[in-house]
């Protein structure tokens, strides 16, 4: 049934290198872009298939992104949540992913941005 499919509980996210992640719809909707993309009302092809192929994101990054979605969902309501481990080498890409996906909470981009700013500055200062 089309309707059932459209409002299914899980959606599939596909990375540019072909990894598929099946995540809860509610978790995916932490990202503004994904939410609109998969909105059953909009009728775009992603919404019909419940599957979004993210040409910008590699599997490694997308995995971390999905992890973050769940992490966010889990700690949405609590005050003192633990920090999430983030491998430094992924920081830049994660930052850009967050920007691209427009994660609603913006916690990701903020933290990544700060740390990235640092690394970027290191790079620039190292360049000359």
Partner 1 sequence: MLTGRGKGRIRPPRRVSDKASALVDIDKPNTTLHDVTMSPRRRRWCGWGVGDMCASSMHSPRSVGLTNPTENVDFDTIWKELQMSFIEIHTKDVSKISFEEQYRNAYKLVLKKMGDRLYECVKTFEEAWLKDEVKTKIQSLLLGGNLISAATVGIRGMSMNEKRVAGEKYMKEMKAAWEDHRLCMGMITDVLMYLDRVYCTENKKPSIFTATMCQFRDHVLRSHVAPDGPEPTTIENILISVILEQIQMEREGDIIDKTLIRSCIYMFEGLYETEYEDENEKIYLTSFELEFLNASRQFYQSEGESLLRNSDAGTYLRHTESRLREEQDRCRSTISPLTATKIKEVVEEELIKQNIRDVIEMEGSGLNFMLDNDRLEDLRLAYNLVSRIDPKKAELQKALQKRVVQMGAEINKAAKTAVTAVAQPNEKENGKEVAAPAAKAAPPPNAAALQSIAAIRWVDDVLRLKDKYDNIWAKAFQQDHGLQTALNRSFQEFINEFQRSSEYISLFIDENLKRGLKDKTENEVDAVLEKAIVLLRYIQDKDMFERYYKKHLSRRLLMGKSVGGDVEKQMISRMKLELGNHFTQKLEGMFKDIALSGELTTAYKGHVRQLDDGSRERIELSMSVLTNTFWPVESWDSTAKATCIFPPDIERIKAGFENFYLGKHTGRRLTWQPNMGTADIRATFPKVQGKDAALARERRHEINVSTYAMVVLLLFNNLPAGASYTFEELQTKTNIPPNDLIRNLQSLAVAPKTRLLIKEPMSKDIKPTDRFYFNENFSSKFLKLKVGVVANGNKVESEKERKQTEKRNDEMRGGIIEAAVVRIMKERKELPHQQLYSEVISQLRFTPDINMIKKRIESLIEREYLERVEDKSRPAYRYLA
Under 8 Å between Cβ of 94 and 108? yes
What letter does residue 55 receive in the DSSP assignment? Answer: T
Q: Does 60 bind partner 1 (CB under 8 A)?
A: no
Q: Does 63 bind partner 1 (CB under 8 A)?
A: no
Pairing of β 20-24 and β 10-14: antiparallel
Write out the binding residues for partner 1, residues 8-27 only, by CB under 8 A. Answer: none
Q: Does 92 bind partner 1 (CB under 8 A)?
A: yes
We find the least distance from the C-beta atom of residue 3 to partner 1, in angstroms, to be: 15
> What sign has the CA pseudo-torsion 33, 39, 45, 48?
positive
For partner 1, the binding residues (CB under 8 A) are 32-33, 36-37, 39, 42-48, 52-57, 68, 71-72, 75-93, 95-100, 102, 105-127
């Amino acid at each position: 049934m089309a309707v059932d499919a459209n409002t299914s509980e899980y959606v599939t996210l596909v990375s540019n290198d072909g990894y598929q992640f099946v995540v809860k719809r509610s978790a995916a909707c932490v990202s503004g872009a994904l939410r609109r993309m998969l909105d059953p009302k909009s009728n775009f092809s992603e919404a019909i298939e419940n599957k979004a192929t993210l040409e910008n994101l590699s599997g490694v990054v997308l995995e971390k992104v999905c992890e973050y979605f769940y992490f966010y969902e889990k700690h949405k309501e609590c005050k003192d949540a633990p920090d999430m481990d983030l491998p430094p080498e992924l920081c830049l890409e994660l930052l850009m992913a967050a920007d691209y996906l427009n994660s609603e909470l913006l916690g990701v981009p903020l933290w990544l941005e700060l740390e990235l700013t640092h690394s970027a500055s290191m790079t620039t200062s190292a360049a000359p």
